[in-house]
Amino acid sequence: MKFFVDTADVAEIKLLAASGLLDGVTTNPSLVAKSGRRMHDVIAEICAIVPGPVSAEVAATDYDGMMAEARVLRAIAGNVTIKVPLTPDGLRACRALTSQGTMVNVTLCFSAAQALLAAKAGASFVSPFVGRLDDIGEDGMGLIADILTIFRHYPALTTEVLVASVRSPAHVVVAAKLGAHVATIPPAVLRQLFAHPLTDKGLAAFLADWAKAGLSIG
């Protein structure tokens, strides 16, 4: 499974990219607004750090506006993925952009029917929001299972399932078990994947034994 990081914080992205863990980045207007910087500058800097897909979302809600903004965004770098909402105009823009060779991430997906529409429109990625579904008492990971089941019946559908609104390491592990193609993970959750008390306990014991022995390396 590919790991994307869900942030517009360039410092975080640099740190995580240095670990070799990142396959891509997703941003949205809210994340870019938090950076306090121009969207063009933020996306350009991220694309220079991460060679994989970098999702940059349009702010327009109508077809013509989306296409105009997409032209600006995709001119930033070759690895920009245009992010559009799962609306009729968004899917129309998805089809047009895909036909032009542009990667498209269809976002704000909350049902298997919506995901199927995104795939039919030629999306490179469809982003079901599992955490937001869990918040209202629905089964976010159940949706991922349903979408993957449908897609596996139709090999001609090449859209990758990008698990979004990830809230915990459990979401990542279940997504991987189900065979999701990508998870886009907030930096704080990505760091939690490293954490286990037995790892910390074992390391402390090793270091204590080493100190008692008075040894050194080199």
Catalytic positions: 83
Residue 38 amino acid letter: R
